[in-house]
Amino acid sequence: MAPSARPQSWRPESWRDHAAEQQPDWEDAGALETALKELRNLPPLVFAGEARALKAALGEAARGEAFVLQAGECAESFDNLSADAIRDALKIILQMSVVLTYAAGLPVIKVGRIAGQFAKPRSEALERLGDQELPSFRGHMVNGIDFDAEARRPDPQRLVRAYHQASSTLNLLRAFTKGGFADLTQVHMWNREFVAASPQGRRYEDIAAAIDRALRFMAACGIDLKSDVALHQVDFYTCHEALILGYEEALTRQDSLTGEFYDCSAHLLWAGERTRQAGGAHLEFLSGIHNPVACKVGPAATPAEVLALCDALDPDGEPGRLSLIARMGAGAVREALPPLVAAVRDAGRAVVWVCDPMHGNTFLSSNGLKTRRFEDIVEEIKGFFAVHEALGTFPGGVHLELTPDDVTECLGGVDAVLDGQLDVSYRTLCDPRLNGNQSLELAFEIGELLQAWVRR
């Protein structure tokens, strides 16, 4: 094996010698150290072998042989930890993945923004309301959302609580995905009541019925369906933005098999658009862990910057190691993305290109709520596919913010959520999410694009 081009000086704590954006002002250094020590002594949440399995799967996506569905909350909430919430979050992703697999005949790699997505970067460190100014809400891993001084004070014990919530969430996800719930014979059960009655819910039922028929056909041909694990279990991975580096460092462990370091807080970690500075602490941290990693890239990114990201995060050119998540905006994607994709292609880099059609399409509605238009989201994904089609590269996946619930946060879709209706059920802690209906509708849109791509 060729020697690794990674710097040998990396340690889980070496990010501390670099400038770290977006870190909370914890105030009490002793309380922070107590929390981090507690985390260092707790067991890992995921295992190195699982992170390696995801990297191998993403390697297939880098070769155009699988499609990534990365989806979930913008910001998970400490107040939403119930079996039903976890089951429903899984259901919508399983449903979407059935739609995509059925349309394209490609394996879908399922990666939830779940079990750790508790920290948010903010454009303003302070929020002003009337004549009071308080620290901005940075996610439940850091502080509370209520606008009062006590809630907004960063509390290091929240890091420990985030770990325990992630642990409970993962425990149930593992039970659901390996214990029968994700069995392909249960495909009808993943349709939720309020979605089932909608046009896309009925369209989903048609696919579910076709899968039933296919399974009966195979059984009738004498194929032993009972013993085939792939029909009864799914691989479901977790990811979050590696933002609060003390938390990520404390959960980084050396794998006993390989001696390599893995951040065992999730299978995949990414750097956000606000924390991907060259030479900054976030890239330094991600450069040394052996998990698959990702980085957001917005419309201002230059080809040179993106190639530098590849060098920093994937010096060994390992397929599946690096995903680049383009978040350009519907109006910019067709101009801003091609030079980046072309530069990466011409450098012979095997990255997975993923489309985040959410974060470049956010604006304020007439009543001041952050929202996104369903049609802009679809338009950005269409632009993303068109760019890859023109350059002969693979549109490797999508990165979505969604909830299984019947919320009114994004405009449009078949139930035509209108501007004046956003406050009917606007519940997000941070960015506007697609609701269950909109998510399934989007899966059908993406399925059509992917099918056209496969048949081209």
Nearest CA to 154 out of 144, 164, 163 is that of 144
Question: How many C-alpha atoms does 310 have within 13 Å on its Cβ side?
Answer: 25
What is the rounded distance in angstroms from the CA atom of residue 52 to the CA atom of residue 63? 17
**Smallest distance from the beta carbon of 74 to Co ion, in angstroms?**
4
Contacts of 99 (CB under 8 A, 6+ apart): 204, 207, 440, 443, 444, 447
- Give the residue with the Cβ less far from Co ion, 39 or 400: 400
Q: Say whether residue 324 binds Co ion (CB under 5 A).
A: no
Q: Say whether residue 379 binds ligand PEP (CB under 6 A).
A: no
Q: Which of 91, 359, 372, 433 binds ligand PEP (CB under 6 A)?
A: 359
Strands 252-254 and 261-263: antiparallel
Residues of this chain, 27-86, that bind ligand PEP according to CB under 6 A: 74
Evaluate whether 76 touches 170 at the Cβ level (below 8 Å): no
Residues of this chain, 262-291, that bind ligand PEP according to CB under 6 A: 272-274
Distances (CA, A) of 10 to 281, 289, 308: 12, 9, 18
Residues of this chain, 172-211, that bind ligand PEP according to CB under 6 A: none
**Smallest distance from the beta carbon of 117 to Co ion, in angstroms?**
9
**Smallest distance from the beta carbon of 277 to Co ion, in angstroms?**
19
# binding residues, Co ion (CB under 5 A): 2
**Smallest distance from the beta carbon of 436 to ligand PEP, in angstroms?**
20
121 binds, among ligand PEP, Co ion, none (CB under 5 to 8 A by kind): ligand PEP
- Give the residue with the Cβ less far from ligand PEP, 325 or 440: 325
Residues of this chain, 414-433, that bind Co ion according to CB under 5 A: 431
Residues of this chain, 315-334, that bind ligand PEP according to CB under 6 A: 327
Distances (CA, A) of 254 to 65, 77, 202, 248, 289: 31, 30, 48, 13, 9
- Give the residue with the Cβ less far from ligand PEP, 253 or 296: 296
- Give the residue with the Cβ less far from Co ion, 409 or 441: 409
327 binds, among Co ion, ligand PEP, none (CB under 5 to 8 A by kind): ligand PEP
Q: Say whether residue 74 binds Co ion (CB under 5 A).
A: yes
- Give the residue with the Cβ less far from ligand PEP, 178 or 274: 274
# binding residues, ligand PEP (CB under 6 A): 10
Distances (CA, A) of 219 to 29, 76, 105, 224, 227: 62, 41, 20, 6, 12
Nearest CA to 233 out of 185, 274, 265 is that of 185
Evaluate whether 440 touches 400 at the Cβ level (below 8 Å): no
Query: What is the number of the residue whose Cβ is closest to ligand PEP?
Result: 272
What is the rounded distance in angstroms from the CA atom of residue 378 to the CA atom of residue 394? 18
- How does DSSP assign 70-118, residue by residue? EEE-SS--TT---HHHHHHHHHHHHHHHHHHHHHH-S-EEEEEE-SS--
Mask of contacts with ligand PEP, 110-129, x by CB under 6 A?
A: -----------x--------
Q: Which of 192, 290, 296, 373 binds ligand PEP (CB under 6 A)?
A: 296
Query: Which residues sit opposite 69 in a β-bridge?
Result: 110, 398
Length of the chain: 456
Please report, as ranges, the residues that interact with ligand PEP according to CB under 6 A: 74, 121, 241, 272-274, 296, 327, 359, 431
